[in-house]
Structure formats: C-alpha cells, structure tokens
Structure 1
Amino acid sequence: MSIQSLKTGIFSIWQFFTAILQHRKTRTLSVLFAVGLVFSLVASACSSGATNPQANTSANNQSTARGITVSIGYQKAATILNALKNRGSLEQVLAASGASVRWTEFPAGPPMLEAMNAGSIDFGYTGESPPIFAQAAGVPLLYVAYDPWSPKAEAIIVPKNSPIKTVAELKGKRVAFAKGSNTNYLVVKAVESAGLKYNDIQPAYLTPADARAAFEGGNVDAWAIWDPYLAAVEQAIGARTLTDATNLAPNRGYYLARKTFVDSHPDVLKTVLDEVSKVDKWAASNPKEVAKFLEPELGIKASALEIAEKRREYGVLPLTDEVITQQQKIADTFHKINLIPKQIQVKDIVWKGNQ
C-alpha cells in the first residue's frame, strides 16, 4: 500500500468513526471494529513499506562504497592484476555503486607494501616473502587470498658459459635478487640445501631491471629471478638454471589489503576479488592471448611470455591451514637468519571473510 492510499483510507475510516460517535444508538462493537480497522491499515502500510533484508543489504553496500576510490598497486609482470587493469571490468562494476579505481605501478613487492603502510594503496599482489617483511615492520595489512603460482616459475640462473655448475659453487659469489622478494627465500633455502650458510654468498639487492643489466654485464655471478623475466632471459641469452624452487620453496603469490580498507569496505574487497578471479580464469584458459597482451607491456617476446604462462598455476583462493603453515615456515626462516627483527605469527593477519 502506498502512503497516499494509506492517508485516503485512514481519512475515510475516521469520517466513519466520527459518524459512529455522533450516533448515540450505535453499538460499542461497531466502534471497536472501526478502531481495529484503522490500526490494521497502519500495520499493513508499515509492513509493505519495509524493504526486504536482501535489498536493504544491497543498498547498504552501495552506500558504503559510494564516493570511495580503491587504490590498487600492481607490477607489470603480475599477469592477473595487469590484465584486470587493462580490461577495465573492475571500473565498470565499481562505478555502479559509486566507487572508482586508481592504479599505481611498482617494480617489486616490497616498495608496494611500503606504499600500503603509508596508506597510498588499499590492495595489491606480491610473492610470498614481502608480506612477511611487511608484517615484521608493523605494516597494517591482511592476507585476503593466495595464488598457487608454481615452484617452476622462479630459479637461480647463471650465464650460459659460466663455470658455476652447482649451487654449492656460489660460495663467495655475488648473487642478485630483490631483497624481501620471493626469490630471497629461494636463495636462502637453496644455499642451505647445498650445505652453505646465507652469509656464504654476497647478496646483491637489485630490482629485476637492474639485476638483468648486472647479470648480462658480468657484474654478478648468478641471479635469482621469477617469471616472466626468467623465461625472457632464458630465451634471449640462454641463461642456465642451477635450481628452480622445486622442493625448496612453494613460490605462492598473495593478494593483500590494507587492514583499515578491509574493515571499512569488506563488500568492496569481495567485489575486487570476484573480478580478479574472473580474469584469473580467463588467463588460465588463454595463455596465447595473455602473452600477446603482455608483450608490449613488458617488452618481452610473446613466445617467452607464453612459456611463463604455461608453467604456472592459477587461482584466487582462500588461505588454508596448510598455506598458512608454509608461510609461517618462511617467516621463521627469515627470523632465524636475522633477516626480520622479530618473530611473527602469520595467522594473526589472515582475513577470515574469504573462508
């Protein structure tokens, strides 16, 4: 019933009620009937005017999202977020609720999470090590999903003609990798498995672009790097693999979000993850298309990019106890060799909303 109909009905009944009162011979039952009818109409109008819980939730979600800008950090080599950015689907979905998106590019995971600490980004994707360093530094972030990626998608490599044949021969050598990256952990586990200590090598902390220049220029002896840069240098100059991460490191990727963003806009976060998952499924089924898309973005040949895409795994998955335990082992390892200043508990910063 509409408000106007309610007004009309109540007015009519009131006239009837007044007439009853003016007629002294009217029975009391008629008066009670009139009063009951008025209250019945009021109750009916209130009931029909209330929104159902589902519609109300939708309205609340839209109101909490209206006017906000979701700031997303990405790396060009991170296939899924890069593809999501260029497809523009997230912008379209969020625009319906009055929200917008801002993208910021980063060369690696650690500076991205520094930006998250500063409040400059709300959401991003990195390898397994950056969030550990970030948590130890007090960055207010949460793990919101993980990507299985692949142990085959990272490796320690040497130039084709290098005399170095095994990881054990890296003792005293300069090894390039990004500090706090997933390959940082690979180096730690690889040298340990070869009977060395972390301080037996000379780390050269370099971003992928700087590391490749140093690698090709002979300024470092080895390079720990991930795909697609790994596939690119293998194809371009015949770089030789000493070891990949098989049986050494899980080499997962993680979707991370600023805690205050998650607390304030969990509905928006779920929308972002839904769109990420859609792009992830598309990429898993279309490695050739992904390679063609990334070629001009990265300046890497599509043939190398296709190799990288085919040897990785896909998924936007909630963290399980097993995944958290594996991530905790990485954190414990970094603490043991004093790469992070304190013991941390990974489970303390895992979002439960994606379970």
Structure 2
Amino acid sequence: MISRRLLLAAPALIIPPTLAHAAPEEKEFEFLGVRDPQLGMQLAVAEHFGLFREEGVNLTFRWQPSGGDVLTVMGSGFPIGVGSQLGQIALAAQNMPVKILTGLADISDTQGIVLGPHCRISNIKELEGKRVAFTQGNNSPLMFAKLAERFGFDHTKLQMIPMAPSEGVIAASKGDVDILLSWQPFLHRLTTMGGTLFATGGAHYFTGRKVVLPEAEKLLYSHSVILANESWIQGKPNTLQALLRALIKADARFKVDRAGCMPGLQRVLRIGPEPLRVMTEANRYGVLIDRPLVNSYRFTNDWAVGIKRIPTPQTPESGITPVVLEKVAPDNVTWRAGA
C-alpha cells in the first residue's frame, strides 16, 4: 500500500520537461543582439524572466547598434545572432554558411510613410513631385512603387532626399520635406508633431480609415530572424533547441501578459515606455517558419538582385532551415522546402 508520506514526496520525483531534453553542447555562449523590439522582444523577455537558464543555457549578449552590424560581425565568422532576411541573403551571397533558424516577427508594419504636418493631399496622384526624406540602403522606397502600381500615380516624380531618420523627422516637421519614409519610432515621432500616417508595409490610411492589405498585396515584406552558422546547426543542435524553446516561452508569455513583460523589455532593451509601446504594437510576433517569412525572403532577394546588392539570387529553400524548430515545435513550421 502506498503511504501518505510517499504520495506527498512524489511530485519531487517528477522530472521537469525542460530537464528531459538532451543536454546542450554549449551551456554558455555569446549571442549577437540588437536593442530593438523589432529584433529582440523574445530575447529580452527570455533574459528578464530567466527562461534561457530554465532551458540549461546562459547567453551573454554582445549588443550591436543594428541588424546591419550583426551582418558584419557574422560575416567575420561569429556563429549566432538576431537579424533580418537580408542578413542571411547577403551572407549566403558571399558563400558564408549562415541559415535562418526561425522568424521572430513580421516587422513590415514598423516601416511606413508619414505626411508632414504641412502636407495635405486629397488624391494619391498629388504625391507626384513631393519631397521625401528616406534612409538609403534599405528597400522601403519599394512601398511607393507598390502604391503606384496599385493606385495609379507616377512614383518616379517623387523627389527622394537621403537623410538619417531623426533628420528626416525634423525636416518634415518644419516643411523642408513633405514626407517621411522611415520606420518606428520615427514615424510615431512625426505623427506627434502633427504628421499623418499614410501607409505601412501592411496597411494604408489615405482613405480616412485603416485598410489592412491581404498578404499578397502588402507594400513591403520584412521579418526579424535568428541567424546561425551551419557549424552550430550541425554540431550544436541541442544548444539551438534550448535557445528556441526559451524564445517560444518568451513569445507566449508576452502574448498573454504584455503589461507584465514591458518593464523587462524596458530594462533589457533600454527603450522608454512610449516608443516601446508603439514599436511592439506594430510587430506581429511569432517564432515561426511560415509563408509570410518566405514572402519576405523572396521579396528581399528580388530587390537585392535588382539593385545588384548581391551577385546571384538566393532561395528560401537554401536559406531557411526548419531542422531545429521542427524538433522543438513542429506545429510552428508550416512551410518546408518544396511546399
């Protein structure tokens, strides 16, 4: 007969699920992070709540100013970090064995177009001739080409003026330019100065209301992702699985308790509460390999080839690997090569 004492002790004998997994090959390692909720929400939540430690790994973040800096460091051989689909495409085009392990967020709605407070249009054709502040080196100008294709105006008549984002906000607020083409929180900053949100990658507002665009008709496609060197994918699969389990926990925690996670995000990412709110609301988070991630990959590849940023096209079949995520959460993988 089972004694009451044994019954009381039994819960302590149950092995927690996280301890049932194979031990990570690398328990402590450096990870290239960016203090940006578009790239690092799950990383920050996992760090703040000790979710990496729960999975048996300890990350030391080597913070970078931007995803472009992550690309540079990984190009020198660093094994793992956060970035964008462009990072993997650019590295693969240089024969660097770097793959996308998973998407973290659809960040297309964090980029957009804001009319300055001195700019008013009643018809989309009135965009022609307007002065646009934009930052060189990214594909956001394609938003105007997509709008022109769909709504019929000549986007080549826009006057595109290169500026840093903060400079563009000031110029648009003063009327030195008419339009800001940028990303959050700079879009929000201009709207607080009297600017009008015109469009984002996944929606437009110029009819007087928000019109969410179907996936196939978005103006821009972009994702944040986890990048890993092939040597880690082959040689440290348990480490990478532990990493992704922690990020999936963080993603779920944020979705059920956003308010409770915000102080942790502020602490780790060092971003004030209002811009943090704006940026997190613009992202569609998910530790996923899905069709939208593939759309971002193909969209970015076509742009990079078109402007000769890369010498040869890259494919999602070669650039995105589901082998780690499908071991951890197979339901989070809804696209595979050949699908």
Letter in 2 for 1:230: L
Letter in 2 for 1:141: V
Instruction: Give runs of ≥4 in structure 1 deviating > 6 Å.
Output: none
Cα deviations by residue, 1:33-55 (Å, 9 ceiling, x for unpaired): xxxxxxxxxxxxxxxxxxxxxx9
Contact 2:184 2:278 in 1 (8 A): no
Letter in 1 for 2:304: F
Question: Which residue of structure 2 aligns with residue 249 of structure 1?
Answer: 220
SS of 1:255's equivalent in the other structure is strand
> What are the equivalent positions in structure 2 for 1:171-182 lying under 5 Å apart?
171=129, 173-177=131-135, 179-180=137-138
Letter in 2 for 1:222: I
For the pair 1:336 / 2:315, whether they are aligned, the reply is no
Contact 1:288 1:306 in 2 (8 A): no
For the pair 1:259 / 2:230, whether they are aligned, the reply is yes
Higher helix share: 1
Question: Which residue of structure 2 aligns with residue 271 of structure 1?
Answer: 242
Structure of higher RCO (CA pairs closer than 8 Å, 6+ residues apart): 2
Q: Counterparts of 2:223 and 2:307 in 1: how far apart (Å)?
A: 21
Q: What do you get for the CA RMSD once the two structures are aligned?
A: 3.6
> What are the equivalent positions in structure 2 for 1:281-300 lying under 5 Å apart?
281-295=252-266, 297-300=269-272
Contact 2:128 2:153 in 1 (8 A): no
Question: Which residue of structure 2 aligns with residue 160 of structure 1?
Answer: 117
Question: Which residue of structure 2 aligns with residue 81 of structure 1?
Answer: 43
Change (3 A) 1:323 1:71: closer
Change (3 A) 1:140 1:198: farther
Task: Specify which of 104, 117, 126 is matched with residue 62 of structure 2.
Answer: 104
Q: Give the deviation of 1:317 after TM superposition.
A: 1.0
Higher strand share: 2
Question: Which residue of structure 2 aligns with residue 36 of structure 1?
Answer: none
Change (3 A) 1:118 1:344: same
Cα deviations by residue, 1:148-184 (Å, 9 ceiling, x for unpaired): 5364433112322235674862657343236236x46
Change (3 A) 1:339 1:268: same
Range that drifts further, 71-80 or 287-296: 287-296
Change (3 A) 1:83 1:337: same
SS of 2:114's equivalent in the other structure is strand
**TM-score normalized by structure 2?**
0.68
Segments of structure 2 that go 5 or more residues without pairing to the other structure are: 1-18, 203-217, 327-339
Task: Specify which of 190, 193, 199 is matched with residue 237 of structure 1.
Answer: 193
Letter in 2 for 1:180: N
Question: Which residue of structure 2 aligns with residue 65 of structure 1?
Answer: 26
Change (3 A) 1:271 1:56: closer
Segments of structure 1 that go 5 or more residues without pairing to the other structure are: 1-54
Question: Which residue of structure 1 aligns with residue 283 of structure 2?
Answer: 312
Aligned length: 287
Change (3 A) 1:350 1:221: same
Question: Which residue of structure 1 aligns with residue 182 of structure 2?
Answer: 225
SS of 1:72's equivalent in the other structure is strand
Letter in 2 for 1:272: L
For the pair 1:118 / 2:101, whether they are aligned, the reply is no
SS of 1:261's equivalent in the other structure is helix
Q: Counterparts of 1:140 and 1:204 in 2: how far apart (Å)?
A: 33
Question: Which residue of structure 1 aligns with residue 16 of structure 2?
Answer: none
Percent same amino acid among aligned pairs? 15
Contact 2:125 2:153 in 1 (8 A): no
Contact 2:71 2:83 in 1 (8 A): no
Task: Specify which of 90, 102, 114 is matched with residue 145 of structure 1.
Answer: 102
Q: Counterparts of 1:311 and 1:124 in 2: how far apart (Å)?
A: 19
Change (3 A) 1:196 1:147: farther
Contact 1:157 1:243 in 2 (8 A): yes
Contact 2:108 2:201 in 1 (8 A): yes
Q: Counterparts of 1:101 and 1:256 in 2: how far apart (Å)?
A: 15
Question: Which residue of structure 2 aligns with residue 49 of structure 1?
Answer: none
Change (3 A) 1:264 1:255: same
